[in-house]
Amino acid sequence: MPERARRLRPARFDDLGLRRALGDRMLPLLVAAMAFLAALALAGSAGAAALVRHWQEGAAAALTVQVPAPGDAAAGGTGTRLDAVLALLRAVPGIGDAHALSSAELGALLRPWLGDAAGDPALPLPAVIAVRMAAAAPDLTALGARLGAAAPGTLVESQGVWVERLTRLARSLQACAWLVLAVVAGVAAAVVAVGTRAGLAARREAIEIVHGLGATDGYVARRFARRTTALAALGALLGTLAALPVLAALAVMVAPFAGKPDAATVPAELALGLPALPVIAALIGWLTAQATVRRWLRRLP
Partner 1 sequence: MVRLEGVSLQYGSGRRAGPAVLHELDLTIPEGGFRWLRGPSGAGKTSLLRLLNLTVRPTRGRLVVLGSEIGGATRAELPPLRQRIGMVFQDFRLLPHLSAFDNVALPLRIAGRPEGQVRADVTEMLRWVGLSRRSDARPAALSGGEQQRVAIARAVVGRPSLLLADEPTGNLDDTQAERLMLLLKEMNRLGATVVVATHNEALVARHPGPAIRLESGRLRDDA
The residues that bridge with 216 in the sheet, in sequence order, are none
CB of 102 or CB of 216, closer to partner 1: 216
Output the smallest distance, CB 210 to partner 1, in A: 7
Convert residues 216-235 into a mask of x (bound to partner 1 by CB under 8 A) and - (unbound): xx-x----------------
| CB 210 within 8 Å of CB 274 | no
Q: Pick one of 140, 202, 206, 230: the residue that binds partner 1 (CB under 8 A).
A: 206
| CB 147 within 8 Å of CB 85 | yes
Under the binding rule (CB under 8 A), the answer on residue 20 touching partner 1 is: yes
CB of 7 or CB of 25, closer to partner 1: 7
Amino acid identity, residue 75? A
Q: CA angle, 177 as apex, 262 and 33 as ends, to 5°?
A: 90
Q: Pick one of 73, 166, 210, 258: the residue that binds partner 1 (CB under 8 A).
A: 210
Spatial distance between the Cα atoms of 283 and 230, rounded to a whole number of angstroms:
10
Under the binding rule (CB under 8 A), the answer on residue 298 touching partner 1 is: yes
Q: Pick one of 11, 122, 213, 263: the residue that binds partner 1 (CB under 8 A).
A: 213
Using DSSP's 3-state secondary structure scheme, residue 253 falls into helix
CA distances from 241 to 75, 216, 248 (A): 67, 38, 11
Under the binding rule (CB under 8 A), the answer on residue 121 touching partner 1 is: no
Please give the residue ranges that form the binding site for partner 1 (CB under 8 A).
1-2, 4-5, 8-10, 13-15, 17, 20, 205-206, 209-217, 219, 298, 301
